[in-house]
């Protein structure tokens, strides 16, 4: 499939012209009397921006070494002077959302289902059985997020957390060639990490926050968000601990989306649900795992299903603004595209 050739991702001063928001570094609080040592301590605990401090409960800041209650009050007060956290008009909020950047999936059909593409500043959850295209879409987005904004990209880098060992750089190279992009540069713009357990998965977000503060990222992928929780927390006896840990991880993801305005894409597995309906009939016996915790954390939930041949089906499962529409896309050698046969 031929595509418009992309220009190299902007760097330097051009990077600042993008409509994606830029977070304020934590060092800005030195203007309010915070010491460089305290800024360093906050950064080491994952608070790399003024926004991260402003959005965090006081009790969490007190866990940072060397931060007393009085100092926490001072830090929060200073941060909230810099970060607007009060009321605004719906008109102002609507205008901000009108400038929101979306990242193309490579398929016009799928983009239309998503209201233009993957939304930045929010969490998009892709769930479905195996071979429904979850990881394939993630690989596609890792490339298309680097495209210019007028080509459906975000002009930024990608952070990719892989929990199942399914990441394949060669796939990115094939997709990059489709868009006329330099394969080596595309790979250099993807920061990859393999997560080995749920605690490691959580700690990677601290490192991710530091990287976002230093360089321009527009996408964070976690594939899969829940697989390690299913193995690390086994049995009903650990269900409460699992959900608490998962909620903390998802809250951290949402915080990163808020702070840096990035798109967060997570994949999720499905599990068979016991049907209590009369007659035992259930037209869709599979449901995403994670329960209400992940349901409330995800902004948009997309249900992926297998179709004929290379085609797959995507349907909006839950969204605050999108209708429950459905569309088909295809998995081809050069990435995600529209199916040849509708």
Q: What is the pLDDT of residues 28-51, one digit of tens each?
A: 999 998 999 999 999 989 899 999
CATH code where residue 231 lies: 3.40.50.300
CATH code where residue 51 lies: 1.10.150.20
Q: For the stretch 199-219, what's the b/e string if a residue is b when 16 or more beta carbons lie within 10 angstroms of its beta carbon?
A: eebbebbeebbeebbeebbbb
Same-domain pairing of 121 and 48: no
At 305, which helix (H) or strand (E)? strand 300-306
pLDDT tens digit sequence for 291-319? 899 999 999 999 999 998 889 999 999 99
Same-domain pairing of 73 and 118: no
Say what the pLDDT of residue 14 is.
42
**Which domain range does residue 257 map to?**
100-337
Q: How many residues does the chain have?
A: 342
Same-domain pairing of 40 and 151: no
Interatomic CA distance for residues 328 and 342, integer angstroms = 8
Q: For the stretch 289-321, what's the b/e string if a residue is b when 16 or more beta carbons lie within 10 angstroms of its beta carbon?
A: bbeebbeebbbbbbbbbebeeebbbbebbbbee
CB hemisphere CA count around 127 (13 angstroms): 23
The CA distances from residue 61 to 13, 52, 105, 246, 332, in Å, are 34, 10, 38, 20, 47
Say what the pLDDT of residue 163 is.
96
Interatomic CA distance for residues 261 and 282, integer angstroms = 39
Say what the pLDDT of residue 120 is.
96
pLDDT tens digit sequence for 163-183? 999 999 999 999 999 999 999
Interatomic CA distance for residues 29 and 79, integer angstroms = 7
pLDDT tens digit sequence for 223-268? 999 999 988 988 788 888 989 999 999 999 999 999 999 999 999 9
Q: Which of 34, 51, 82 is the last residue of a domain?
A: 82
Say what the pLDDT of residue 278 is.
56
- Domains contained in the chain, number: 2
Residue 132 lies in a domain: yes
Same-domain pairing of 36 and 159: no
Residue 172 lies in a domain: yes
Residue 89 lies in a domain: no
Same-domain pairing of 66 and 167: no
pLDDT tens digit sequence for 121-143? 999 999 999 999 999 999 999 99
- The per-residue pLDDT of the chain, averaged, comes to 90
The CA distances from residue 321 to 3, 255, 304, 325, in Å, are 30, 21, 19, 12
Say what the pLDDT of residue 284 is.
64
pLDDT at 98 over 90: no
Question: Whose CA is closest to 120, among 19, 225, 257?
Answer: 257
Same-domain pairing of 179 and 280: yes
The CA distances from residue 127 to 54, 76, 142, 265, in Å, are 32, 37, 18, 11
Judge whether 328 and 313 are in contact, CB under 8 Å.
yes
Neighbours of 141 (CB within 10 A): 29
pLDDT at 334 over 70: yes
Task: Please give the share of the chain, as a percent, with pLDDT higher than 70.
Answer: 90
Same-domain pairing of 70 and 193: no
Enumerate residues 6+ apart whose C-beta is below 8 A from 81. 32
Same-domain pairing of 49 and 182: no
Residue 234 lies in a domain: yes
Same-domain pairing of 239 and 133: yes
Same-domain pairing of 200 and 276: yes
Same-domain pairing of 55 and 197: no
Tokens for 198, please give them. Answer: 């749920």
Same-domain pairing of 76 and 208: no
Q: Is the dihedral of CA 225, 227, 233, 235 positive or negative?
A: positive
Say what the pLDDT of residue 96 is.
85
The packing angle between helices 36-44 and 69-82, to 10°, is: 90
Residue 6 lies in a domain: no
Question: What is the CA angle 243-244-247, rounded to 5?
Answer: 80
């Amino acid at each position: 499939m031929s595509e418009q050739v992309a220009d190299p991702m902007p760097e330097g001063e051009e990077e600042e012209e993008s409509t994606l928001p830029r977070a304020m570094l934590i060092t800005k609080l030195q203007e309010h009397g915070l010491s460089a040592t305290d800024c360093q301590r906050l950064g080491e605990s994952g608070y790399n921006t003024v926004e991260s401090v402003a959005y965090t409960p006081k009790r969490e800041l007190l866990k940072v070494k060397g931060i007393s209650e009085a100092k926490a009050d001072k830090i929060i007060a200073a941060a909230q002077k810099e970060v607007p956290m009060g009321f605004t008009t719906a008109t102002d909020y609507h205008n901000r959302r009108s400038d929101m950047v979306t990242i193309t999936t490579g398929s016009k059909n799928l983009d239309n289902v998503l209201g233009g593409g993957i939304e930045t500043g929010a969490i998009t959850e892709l769930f479905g059985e195996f071979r429904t295209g979850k990881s394939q879409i993630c690989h596609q987005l890792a490339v298309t997020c680097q495209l210019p904004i007028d080509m459906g990209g975000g002009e930024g880098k990608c952070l990719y957390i892989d929990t199942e060992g399914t990441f394949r750089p060669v796939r990115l190279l094939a997709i990059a060639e489709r868009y006329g992009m330099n394969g080596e540069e595309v790979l250099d713009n993807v920061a990859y990490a393999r997560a080995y357990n749920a605690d490691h998965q959580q700690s990677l977000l601290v490192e991710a926050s530091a990287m976002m503060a230093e360089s321009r990222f527009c996408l964070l992928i976690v594939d899969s968000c829940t697989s390690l929780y299913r193995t690390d927390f086994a049995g009903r006896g650990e269900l409460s601990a699992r959900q608490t840990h998962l909620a903390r991880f998802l809250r951290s993801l949402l915080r990163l989306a808020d702070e840096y305005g990035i798109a967060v894409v997570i994949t999720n597995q499905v599990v068979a649900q016991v049907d209590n309906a009369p007659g035992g009939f259930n037209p869709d016996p599979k449901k995403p795992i994670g329960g209400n915790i992940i349901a409330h954390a995800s902004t948009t939930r997309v249900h992926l299903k297998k179709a004929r041949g290379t085609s797959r089906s995507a349907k909006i499962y839950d969204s605050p603004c999108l209708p429950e529409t459905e569309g088909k896309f295809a998995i081809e050698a050069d990435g995600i595209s529209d199916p040849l046969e509708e």
